[in-house]
Structure 1
Amino acid sequence: MSEGRPEPFNARNAPVDSRPGVDRTEALRERMFGSAMAALELYTIYIGVRLGLYRALADGGPASSSQLADRTGIAERYAREWLEQQAVSGLIDVDDPRAEPLARRYRLPPEHIPVLADPDDVRYEAHTGVDIVRAGRRLPQLVEAFRVGNAPPPLPWEPEGRADPNRARFINLLGNEWLPAIADIDVRLRAERPARVADVACGTGWSSIAMAHAYPSVHVDGVDLDHDAITAARQNAERAGVADRVTFSVTDAADLAGRGGYDLVTIFEALHDMSRPVDALSAAREILAQDGILLVVDGLVNDEFMAPASPRERTEYGWSVVSCLPGAMADPQTAATGAVMRPSMLRQYALQAGFRDVQTLPIDTDYWRFYRLLP
């Protein structure tokens, strides 16, 4: 994927039921069993994240069920069942499976710590358990939304809050690899005159914070419609020590006109979620300085519809059905983009918003494509 393009479809990443010579009925039945097992494991990962069980094993070392219960303040019987399930699933190790249940000691393998217990690591994936559980909370309302054609009610922030799946990517890669790879952006952000950055749909603020850390003179304005996300973003900026240069506000991207003079406007993995992406891009164009740059980063999807498709495309469509498209359907004038925003669709939006061209930047990731929109 040297050009940042999705891996082409082939038999290796095809859905199991499409392989030549396979009994498709039996293959689908096996696939459903595997999907159920995977879903249940994600539910138990959610429990491990919410209760700090992985972190307790990583920090405190091997533990029996009683020791883990004491460390985390949970009931021993629940701790024991969770540890046994994690061990039989291969997520954690058990010293002696033949020992008596209360005598068994469990450990989190060092190789699994980045994935399950270290949210600062780019390999961290335990947030997926939180994402899956939150998405499942409103499935009954989503069924009704399918019938009516509107949006299910927004999910409340509590009890777990929104996951931060991109946090580690931003703090490790955004200012250290990705932005420095775009020469004129990097030069402008390092200039003696402080650059102004607008981070549109900033969520909990980690992209804004990462830019402020990497470029000590910039001033970043992060905007988002989610009040709870903005509250969390402000807290995150305070803890990160950049609140003097990073501000957050509850603002619609389409209402940014009039602020003006931004050297860089960024939209990270959010344009496809917006009900009116053309309005948002138009507003972004209006607030750019004369030589300002608009950077849009969105999902790494195929250029054209393919079926069956790669695991990446299947994942994007899955999130589109249960989260991204429903989130945009409350607006009667919605563009109803969905998570699978192909390059041609983005180009169409950009041209309608008054941009003259779209460049795909040569930044290689397994999950995102970087676009530069030319005024």
Structure 2
Amino acid sequence: METTPPLADRVFETGVAMMEGLAVYLGDRLGWYRELAASGPLVPAELAARTHTHHRYALEWCEQQAAAGFLTAHDATGDGGERRYGLDAEGVAVFTDIRSTDFLAPFVRLVAASAIQLPALLEAYREGGGVSWQQLGDDARTGQADMNRPWFEQVLPGELAGAPHLHAALGRPGAAVADVGCGYGWSTIALARAYPEARVVGIDIDGPSVERARAHAADAGIENVEMVHSAGEEIEGGPYDVVFLFECLHDMPYPVEVLTAVRRSLADGGTVVVMDEAAADELTAPADLVQRALYGFSVLCCLPDSLSHPDSVGTGTVIRRDVVERYAREAGFGRVDELPIEDFGFWRFYELR
């Protein structure tokens, strides 16, 4: 009997995983996961009624999710009873819990944002140019923001407290702190909450993101924070004691210009912290799952966004250590150290002096 080659198996599994991922997107955007987390197991008709969606689609989705192992299936009870579907504790964390670092529905949302733009990506790959963050839209914005939020809220303050010189600089009364590339503001808000005597300024080039960041800060009741709509090449409000760039340097079309502006915005003795992808120092083939994920983001999202700007350097998601060091040197920094922060998502922390 002829056996299927392993590569064919992998590609088939990839296709199935793509379909399952898009089904996760449906459950996330339609509110089905959130309703199941709030209500417990439901029959599909109840799920559809509570979310104002169509019963037949809810039935098919529930069965598909159970087949994929994402939902639990409970046997029907009584004559003519229907099977109920629910989420176990792990499923609640992965699909609905905005406080959990296992919250990965936004990961799928970000991938789906790129999938929707496949015709534009094909054109960019053929003709040059790119697909901008604006084209990717709110699914990309919220996907990245919601995926990173629990890391900033739950993990970042403790890690910074474990770096004594940074903790002291941030905790000084009147300390001036900038968060360049703040997106929806969750990192800025986390810094402001952890260091209430500091003045924290979030800066981002994307207008809709800044509007949401301002709303998030207001909702949180954070008063020592300001959100500014500005390009990273124009750092206002300094001099700053500490400037952060969280997972954005690799996206920037002009990273050296941004780092140069950041350096010029520093107070005497100020420091810069860059958190970016923990890319391997060189390509390995085949690579581990993290490196494959970074390349996936790069070909579908980050590189096309960067190349949508004229004369972009086109870094891409796979920003290796030597690239960060080169950009820092070209921007006038004399030293780049890696901070001892480990097991922080896909990311690595650099300190530029």
* TM-score, normalised relative to structure 1: 0.88
2:154 aligned partner:
172
Maintained 8 Å contact 1:151/1:328: yes
Q: For residues 200-241 of structure 1, give each alpha carbon's deviation from its aligned partner in whole angstroms, at most 9, with x where no partner exists.
A: 000000000111111111211111111111111111111111
**AA of the residue aligned to 1:79:** A
Q: Per the alignment, do residues 86 and 311 of structure 1 end up closer, same or farther by CA in structure 2, a change over 3 Å counting?
A: same
Identical aligned residues as a percent: 38
Give the deviation of 1:142 after TM superposition: 1.2
Q: 2:181 aligned to 201, 216, 228, which one?
A: 201
**AA of the residue aligned to 1:105:** R
Maintained 8 Å contact 1:142/1:326: yes
**AA of the residue aligned to 2:281:** D
2:167 aligned partner:
186
Give the deviation of 1:252 after TM superposition: 0.6
Q: Per the alignment, do residues 99 and 262 of structure 1 end up closer, same or farther by CA in structure 2, a change over 3 Å counting?
A: farther
* Structure 1: stretches of 5+ with no match in the other structure: 1-22
Give the deviation of 1:98 after TM superposition: 9.5
Matches within 5 A, 1:281-320: 281-320=259-298
* Structure 2: stretches of 5+ with no match in the other structure: none
1:120 aligned partner:
99
Give the deviation of 1:111 after TM superposition: 2.3
Q: For residues 122-143 of structure 1, give each alpha carbon's deviation from its aligned partner in whole angstroms, at most 9, with x where no partner exists.
A: 1111112211110111111111
1:51 aligned partner:
30
Give the deviation of 1:260 after TM superposition: 2.4
Give the deviation of 1:68 after TM superposition: 1.0
**AA of the residue aligned to 2:263:** R
Maintained 8 Å contact 1:267/1:297: yes
Give the deviation of 1:330 after TM superposition: 2.7
Give the deviation of 1:356 after TM superposition: 0.3
**AA of the residue aligned to 2:31:** G
Matches within 5 A, 1:1-375: 26-96=5-75, 103-153=82-132, 154-155=134-135, 157-158=137-138, 162-163=142-143, 164=145, 165-175=147-157, 177-191=158-172, 193-242=173-222, 244-256=223-235, 259-365=237-343, 366-374=345-353
* TM-score, normalised relative to structure 2: 0.94
Q: Per the alignment, do residues 246 and 216 of structure 1 end up closer, same or farther by CA in structure 2, a change over 3 Å counting?
A: same
Matched residue count: 347
**AA of the residue aligned to 1:239:** D
Q: Which has the higher contact order (CA 8 A, sep 6+)?
A: 1
CA distance in 2, matches of 1:32, 1:211: 43
RMSD value, Cα: 1.9
CA distance in 1, matches of 2:218, 2:322: 39
Q: Secondary structure at 2:280's aligned position in 1?
A: coil
Q: Secondary structure at 1:248's aligned position in 2?
A: strand
Q: Per the alignment, do residues 223 and 102 of structure 1 end up closer, same or farther by CA in structure 2, a change over 3 Å counting?
A: farther
Q: Secondary structure at 2:350's aligned position in 1?
A: strand
Runs of 4+ deviating beyond 4 Å? 97-102, 158-161
Q: Per the alignment, do residues 272 and 289 of structure 1 end up closer, same or farther by CA in structure 2, a change over 3 Å counting?
A: same
**AA of the residue aligned to 1:83:** C
Q: For residues 245-288 of structure 1, give each alpha carbon's deviation from its aligned partner in whole angstroms, at most 9, with x where no partner exists.
A: 111121011111x6321111000010000001000100010111
Q: Secondary structure at 2:179's aligned position in 1?
A: strand
**AA of the residue aligned to 2:162:** A
